[in-house]
């Protein structure tokens, strides 16, 4: 029976943190610890968190430089075999951890993705697409689970990247280290994604620049990376 470490990052999330916490503590699978990392919120986030303090294993509240630094803080102190990240505003389905645990229990997996509702149901895991697109999986927050030992082996999220460090980790996980993963079935909904999250506040150029740097820093052919950048640039502006 795997122990999960569920980590929530939040900053000024007084209106969203409650529903996220409630989705975690109402799980039908109860072998988990719950860690909340608050980036020194300036609103009533901590008061909202305090309402649920008896259900929460650890609360950290201190400034951080990025959302990924917050995730790393939680991972460092986690004690579970499987790490799950769910940011403030996103919610788990009630059987999420039960479903994920069954996959890990019955398969030799290093990581996995869960089906996510993000305007529509997203359930495809297409790792070969990572060579030219990071749009190959449903979602990171609320939809990604990885064994703690994999973080011990490959490291934490690279905080040089403020909006796409998950892409960097996935590239290391899938391309460079050939770790084994899968995805839940379409009908096995794991989480619902809040469309107003942090990454939605950043510009297309910021996303494209980080994705380009991730590919180059992980050793992908620079000519191929340049072609990917140009094609993505023209594809976007041809739609405007």
Which structure tokens are listed for 35? Answer: 């860690």
What is the chain's pLDDT, residue by residue, as a tens digit (240 residues)? 899 999 999 999 999 999 999 999 999 999 999 999 999 999 999 999 999 999 999 999 999 999 999 999 999 999 999 999 999 999 999 999 999 999 999 999 999 999 999 999 999 999 999 999 999 999 999 999 999 999 999 999 999 999 999 999 999 999 999 999 999 999 999 999 987 655 555 677 888 899 999 999 999 999 999 998 888 777 766 554
Paired sense of beta strands 144-147 and 189-192, if any? unpaired
The predicted pLDDT at position 186 comes to 97
Residue pair 175/168 in contact by the 8 Å Cβ criterion: no
High-pLDDT (> 70) share of the chain, %: 95
Paired sense of beta strands 111-113 and 181-183, if any? parallel
Which structure tokens are listed for 45? Answer: 């986030």
Question: What are φ and ψ of residue 35, in 5° steps?
Answer: -115, 125
The predicted pLDDT at position 173 comes to 98
The reply to whether the predicted model has a pTM over 0.85 is: yes
């Amino acid at each position: 029976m795997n122990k999960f470490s569920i980590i929530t990052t939040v900053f000024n999330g007084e209106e969203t943190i409650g529903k996220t916490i409630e989705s975690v503590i109402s799980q039908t699978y109860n072998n988990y610890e719950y860690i909340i990392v608050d980036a020194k919120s300036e609103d009533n986030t901590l008061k909202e968190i305090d309402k649920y303090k008896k259900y929460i294993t650890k609360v950290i509240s201190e400034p951080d430089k990025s959302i990924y630094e917050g995730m790393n803080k939680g991972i460092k102190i986690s004690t579970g075999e499987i790490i799950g990240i769910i940011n403030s505003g996103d919610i788990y389905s009630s059987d999420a951890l039960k479903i994920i645990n069954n996959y890990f229990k019955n398969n030799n997996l290093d990581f996995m993705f869960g089906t996510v509702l993000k305007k529509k149901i997203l359930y495809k895991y297409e790792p070969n697409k990572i060579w030219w697109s990071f749009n190959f999986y449903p979602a990171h927050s609320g939809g990604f689970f990885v064994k703690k030992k994999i973080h011990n082996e490959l490291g934490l999220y690279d905080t040089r990247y403020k909006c796409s460090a998950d892409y960097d980790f996935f590239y290391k996980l899938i391309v460079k280290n050939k770790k084994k993963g899968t995805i839940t079935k379409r009908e096995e909904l794991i989480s619902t994604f809040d469309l107003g999250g942090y990454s939605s506040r950043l510009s297309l150029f910021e996303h494209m620049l980080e994705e380009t740097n991730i590919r180059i820093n992980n050793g992908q052919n620079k000519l191929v990376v340049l072609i990917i950048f140009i094609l993505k640039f023209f594809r976007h502006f041809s739609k405007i």
